[in-house]
A and B are shown apart, each in its own frame.
Chain A
Amino acid sequence: MSAAIELTGITKRFPGVIANDNVNLTVEKGEIHAICGENGAGKSTLMKILYGMQPADEGTMKVNGEEVVFSSPTDAIDRGIGMVHQHFMLADQLTVLENIILGAEPTTAGGAIKFKEAEAHLAEVAEDYGLTIDPDDMVESLEVGERQRVEIIKVLYRGAEILILDEPTAVLVPQEVEALFDNMRELKAGGATIIFIDHKLDEVLEISDSITVLRHGKTVASMPNDGVTAHDLAELMVGSELPTPDTTESTVTDHVALAIDDLTVADEDGRAVIENISLSIRKGEILGIAGVEGNGQGDLVDAIIGTTDILGGSIELLGSDLTKLSVRKRREAGIGYVPEDRHHEGLMLDAPLWENAALGHQTQEPYGSRWLLNRKGARAQTTTIKEEFDVRTPNIDVSAHALSGGNQQKLIIGRELTSNPSLLIAAHPTRGIDVGAQAAVWEQIRAARADGLATLLISADLDELIGLSDTIVVMLRGRLVARLAPEDVTPRDLGAYMTGAAHQDDNEAA
């Protein structure tokens, strides 16, 4: 039996860069094949070539043993290859069914859509691969994981048997990742071949049958997932020892930077999303918050930053009350903020880097004064950030969306830390960025901690949380349910507290 996909000697050059250098990839039928590598290793380029979005300069492609040349995704689709992009291509205000059939609508001669027939075909596909979805739901009402399922079904609906999933877990929370993996196993059982791109190694090891590692555009290893460890993979990916998030000796002082007392926050419907939370962060301390997403972590950040009203309690920074201050005043009082969603809250994607560097600090030196921007000062400061925080960009005038995720994040971290805050709120600071940038972000946070910065760290990456934090608290349904020392806690323990499986006495947690 011939392999589902066989790429031989694929080379792709862009001006000044070789994105793929003589890459070989063989994917057997019915397997889950992981492709890992750092950002910029050439994974995406390779997949674009396989999906017909870009032509290869050299090399041959075989699908099910037949040599093929793709000039557009349509050719790839005809050969049974489908791709699920990292950023979903769905219309929120259309139904699931409308999104799925779009472009492949069964119609009468008059152009009316045969909705019954489409629904029947959808039900058939869903049953074959064990995926469930309600065709009449509006996409806007779906969770991220469900949207991804719609994308996968969309590809299957068109008859794809070879699926390319581009970083499917980057946008998902842990439980959704589990659900995705269950779906992937179902797909495999239904006879599909899956190629998926990922750089979270534990995930790769959990789900894949085979693994191909790319580095600097070259295939450095291709092997069955059999006795391979995360450590081995990481070394293959970066070509050196894997960085760890571990902090060294404690720098915690006695000076309290942030003190939250008896804080309660309600949502629009008046339900408490945060109930009677008290916590304090001292200078030089990193307080990690663990919790399944949606248990109030985001609301806590909003309350500190001032983007939501609080129902009761107090928030003090260095002894002065914040609760009556505007967001601007709070930022000026010394709060640095690395938001959870850098595209949505962290950057103006179409604006140049130097404007992005001033964002949130535009009323402060050296970016500007109360009324005016200081172009020269802002540009000089941006150049400093670029150099000190290793933001890889040709210059500071390119727009933010031209940067990779890791470099965008480094710019944000640099912007927040160079303003010398007393408190840094870091929400998922390394989400979706590669190992190299991750290590750099950790290093910067650690250095700031040594200089006496108080940090509130929220992360879904439990190893990161345990490695960086001086203290860990667990949030569940808007309350603090546990307070733990990172030295003697494992991700497994944390998971138990996060889901409510383990408990701690109230006075211990407070």
Chain B
Amino acid sequence: MKWLQDQPAWIRWPIYALLGILLLTVVQSVSDTERLTATPTSREMLRWAVPIFLAGLGGLFSERAGVVNIGLEGMLILGMWFGAWGSIEYGPWIGLAIGMAGGAIGGALHAIATVTFGVDHIISGVAINILAPAITRYLSDEIWASPTTSPSTESVGDWDVPFLAGGTIFGWESPDILLTIDKWEWWFVSDVATLLRGLLRGTHWVAIIAILLVPATSWLLWRTRFGLRLRIAGENPSAGAAQGIDIVRYKYVAVIISGALAGLGGAFISTELSGLFQGGNSAGRGFIGLAALIFGNWRPGGVLIGALLFGYVFGLDLKDLDGTASHALLLVNTIVLVGVAAWAITRKRKADAILATILGALAFIWWVAAEAVPNWWSNILPYVLVLLVLVFFAQRLRMPAALGQPFRKGDT
């Protein structure tokens, strides 16, 4: 464990991922499901994770600049509508840009309310969440003569990775190595290949952009002047203002970027996943993005991991009509909670250890007693995960120090 912690991130995270898959494989071998490590599961995971991640990354920009953004859901809905409209009117790529602009309008509204007028961040966010569905309903009715649905939209499409997942290069079909390994049906090795293939075949271009946003955001926020000044707005705005930095401007820019990213997530849902705008299709993914932000400790890589984890739970549920896969997930929960309990014992945190043991026991009893799990369980599981993370790891979470605090010019 100590050795692992000393490794650089690009070695560490693949190892963590492999350990996770190992856990799934072990659980699957004692369960009557094969979906835990199936290609559709990881494909659905990514499809769910992209909008969650983009909303969460939007939240990261806003909250790193000190503005709580619970309005991500509303901005995502605006992005859904404007993305669909833009795609229908001007084609798919411009559609995505218009979707971002739609979300950015929501962000600008939030910035005006919170930064300029000092409205409580939660109240402004909730107002945007109420406003956005109403506005899109009205616009749909005006433009498409239907309050809830649009005509079908055009998608920017997807891509199969050559060699690994059988993509074509200039019309030549490359071998599908991962599929070959999958067919060998070797324990664990084939499971890894199957899951990986779900990520690399039929990969949406937007998903690729989203993943690239992780290093891009890290660079922007931690290696540039813009990033340093944006972060000071969330850590100690008075200190920044004392050095002549225009804190208000940075907060505005950050919240508008936040809205644009959530908007991209929304446009992805309407144009790439559903193929049309449909009211209610956001399915709360803006809120889950916020959960991923907290889970990820306000860091881009952490947000991505949170989004993938939540995406996995939803993705698994989607193809799990009889509830057996979600049922197997209970055993995963049990094992993870036992791990948390063991960790808490080594840290001499008695209350945490007892709580983790009790919760682990409950999950285990449920797993033993029931054959399947009702589908509401997977809907609330992401929130349960966030609660657990907050309960057990709150001391390790570091939110920006001045998050949610009003800033007035001239304050020292």
Kindly count the residue-residue contacts between A and B in the assembled complex, taking CB atoms under 8 Å apart.
Answer: 62
A112 in contact with B224 given A93-B398, A102-B229 (CB within 8 Å): yes
A113 in contact with B225 given A94-B235, A103-B240, A104-B243 (CB within 8 Å): yes
Whether the Cβ atoms of A89 and B238 lie closer than 8 Å is yes
Interface residues of A in 74-106 (CB under 8 A from B): 74, 85, 89-94, 98-99, 101-105
B106 to chain A, nearest CB (A): 26
Q: What range describes how many residues of B lie at the interface?
A: 20 to 34
Q: How far is the CA of A115 from the CA of B219 in the complex (A)?
A: 13
CB < 8 Å neighbour of B224 from A73, A90, A103, A107: A107
Residue A227 at the chain B interface, CB threshold 8 Å? no
Whether the Cβ atoms of A103 and B244 lie closer than 8 Å is yes
Residue A270 at the chain B interface, CB threshold 8 Å? yes
A102 in contact with B232 given A91-B239, A270-B348 (CB within 8 Å): yes
Whether the Cβ atoms of A91 and B243 lie closer than 8 Å is no
**Which A residues are in CB contact (< 8 Å) with B244?**
73-74, 103
Q: How far is the CA of A327 from the CA of B268 in the complex (A)?
A: 55
Whether the Cβ atoms of A92 and B228 lie closer than 8 Å is no
Residue A394 at the chain B interface, CB threshold 8 Å? no
Q: What 0/1 pattern do residues 107 to 124 of A give for CB contact below 8 A with B?
A: 100111101000000000
**Which A residues are in CB contact (< 8 Å) with B400?**
93
Residue B186 at the chain A interface, CB threshold 8 Å? no
**Which B residues are in CB contact (< 8 Å) with A113?**
223-225, 228
Residue B388 at the chain A interface, CB threshold 8 Å? no
Whether the Cβ atoms of A91 and B224 lie closer than 8 Å is no
Residue B401 at the chain A interface, CB threshold 8 Å? yes
**Which B residues are in CB contact (< 8 Å) with A104?**
243
**Which A residues are in CB contact (< 8 Å) with B229?**
102-103
Residue B236 at the chain A interface, CB threshold 8 Å? yes
Q: How far is the CA of A438 from the CA of B226 in the complex (A)?
A: 47
Residue B242 at the chain A interface, CB threshold 8 Å? yes
A103 in contact with B243 given A89-B238, A94-B231, A111-B225 (CB within 8 Å): yes
Whether the Cβ atoms of B224 and A89 lie closer than 8 Å is no
Whether the Cβ atoms of B228 and A93 lie closer than 8 Å is no
Whether the Cβ atoms of A92 and B235 lie closer than 8 Å is yes
Residue B245 at the chain A interface, CB threshold 8 Å? yes
Whether the Cβ atoms of B223 and A102 lie closer than 8 Å is no
Whether the Cβ atoms of A92 and B401 lie closer than 8 Å is yes
Q: How far is the CA of A91 from the CA of B235 in the complex (A)?
A: 6
Q: How far is the CA of A90 from the CA of B240 in the complex (A)?
A: 9
- CB closest residue in chain B, given A110: B224
Whether the Cβ atoms of A89 and B239 lie closer than 8 Å is yes
- CB closest residue in chain B, given A53: B412
Q: Closest 3 CB pairs between A and B? A: A103-B243, A91-B235, A89-B239
Between A and B, 9 residue pairs with Cβ closer than 8 Å are A91-B239, A93-B235, A102-B239, A102-B243, A104-B243, A110-B224, A112-B224, A113-B224, A113-B225
Question: Contact residues of A with B, CB < 8 Å?
Answer: 73-74, 85, 89-94, 98-99, 101-105, 107, 110-113, 115, 270
Known A91-B401, A98-B228; further 14 A-B contacts with Cβ < 8 A: A85-B242, A89-B239, A91-B235, A92-B236, A92-B401, A99-B239, A102-B232, A102-B239, A102-B245, A103-B245, A105-B225, A105-B228, A111-B224, A270-B348
